[in-house]
Amino acid sequence: MTVRIAVAGASGYAGGELLRLLLGHPDIEIGALTANSSAGDKLFKHQPHLLPLADRELLETSVETLKGHDVVFLALPHGHSAELAEQLGESENRTVVIDCGADHRLTSADDWTRWYGGAYAGSWPYGLPELPGQRDRLVGARRVAVPGCYPTVSSLALAPAVDLIEDEVVIVAVSGTSGAGKSLKPNLLGSEVMGSASAYGVGGAHRHTPEITQNLSAAAGRPIKVSFTPVLAPMSRGILATCTASLKDTGAVREAYEKAYANEPFVHLLPEGFWPTTNAVLGSNAVQLQVTVDEDLGRLVVVAAVDNLAKGTAGAAVQCMNLALGLPETTGLSTVGVAP
């Protein structure tokens, strides 16, 4: 089986990571690579690490360049996927469209309006198969909304415990800078980032908050309130999320995680006594997590590590493509990180 794919947004970080993974996928033929302002450039200029594709020319992002593929990956800024996806749908009903952006993640139109604004494009099957009930929706899907990087790691860190905890969770997630993309902002310059940590989107202002809330509330079957603070750390990749919540019951916590992830190929509860590090998952599709109970407070503490570009974005996209196409879910993906 050869699957012909296209990537819209191939000059960015998410697009580059998609191509890195797809180059190692045995069933893939890489078709159109598109960009906006970089259209016309050779890919090497933007992705010098992708030598096998160095001479590929970036095309304009449009329905014309993207149609005629089996799978189209959209790695675009939020608000740019919906219209393109709709146009693609009209001409290419059989095409699998996998949106790495935010446009189709939220199931509530009100949430979309509040957090992103503009027209609501509806929601697509949510590409986090490890959440209860999601894998079935992804098998054979023609449309997939890839989760945000923070929601991925936070949701996997807390979902197994939703029946054991009170209704409010506190998440502080330390992230590398690649999550911000290649946008040319002063605070993302190397000189500013190196040697420094900083918080942003504080006070419930980050757009991933409603997505985490949506996931945990769905898993719990009741509203879960989410206090979420992202912190930028001096590293390119990786998210380490510290997630805590008051426990209604401090027993059986570890068992809940063991049960939830016993058969998951990519989510690994570490042996007791070990705590995750982001470099252990760098470049891989693995989530490493550890769980404990602060007995003095009766409080759950879960720490989880993910590569924001891999399992946090592009790896999840490939995993969902596999499910959508009926390929083995782990094809082309790895749990082996690049360390040190």
Residues 205-224 that bind a second copy (CB under 8 A): none
Residue in 36, 227, 250, 331 binding a second copy, rule: CB under 8 A: 227
The CA distance from 121 to 208, in Å, is 17
Asked if residues 130 and 261 have their Cβ atoms less than 8 Å apart, the reply is yes
Residues 288-307 that bind a second copy (CB under 8 A): 288, 290, 292-297, 299, 301, 303, 305
Cβ closest to a second copy, residue 84 vs residue 162: 162
CA nearest to 318, candidates 149, 120, 101, 73: 73
How, if at all, do strands 28-35 and 59-60 pair? parallel
Q: In angstroms, give the least distance from the CB of 125 to a second copy.
A: 27
Residue 192 host element (H or E) = helix 190-193
Cβ(252)–Cβ(164) below 8 Å: yes
Q: How far is the CB of 152 from a second copy (least distance, A)?
A: 16
Catalytic residues: 149
Neighbours of 24 (CB within 10 A): 12
Residue 230 phi, psi (nearest 5): -90, 145
For a second copy, the closer of residues 83 and 168 by Cβ is: 168
Site residues (CB under 8 A) for a second copy, limited to 46-65? 47-52, 54
Residue 25 or residue 105: which is nearer to a second copy going by CB?
25
Task: Quote the tokens at residue 89.
Answer: 């749908």
Nearer to a second copy, 139 or 172 (CB): 172
- Residue 52 CB, shortest distance to a second copy, in Å, is 6
Q: Which of 39, 139, 220, 233 binds a second copy (CB under 8 A)?
A: 233
Give the x-and-dash track for 90-119 against a second copy (CB under 8 A).
------------------------------
User: From CA 243, how far away is CA 293, in angstroms rounded?
Assistant: 12
